[in-house]
Amino acid sequence: MSKTIFERIIAREIPARIEHEDEHCIVLHDIQPQAPVHLLIVPKQPITRISAAVPADQAVLGHLLLVAGTVAQKLKLDHGFRLVVNNGPHACESVPHLHVHLLGQRQMSWPPG
Report phi then psi at 88, rounded to 5: 90, 170
Cα 11 from chain centre: 17
**Tally of domains in the chain:** 1
Is residue 50 one of the residues assigned to a domain?
yes
Tell me, what's the pLDDT at 65?
98
State which residues form the domain around 27: 5-104
99 carries an active-site annotation:
yes
Residue 113: is its pLDDT beyond 70?
no
Q: What are the tens digits of pLDDT across the range 8-61?
A: 999 999 999 999 999 999 999 999 999 999 999 999 999 999 999 999 999 999
pLDDT score of 66:
98
111, part of any domain? no
Q: Strands, E, within 1-113: which ranges?
A: 18-21, 25-29, 37-43, 81-84, 100-104
User: Looking at 38, 97, 99, 101, which residue is catalytic?
Assistant: 99
Average pLDDT, integer, range 69-92? 95
Q: Global pTM?
A: 0.94
16 occurs within a structural domain: yes
Mean pLDDT confidence for 82-110: 94
Q: Percentage of the chain with pLDDT > 90?
A: 92
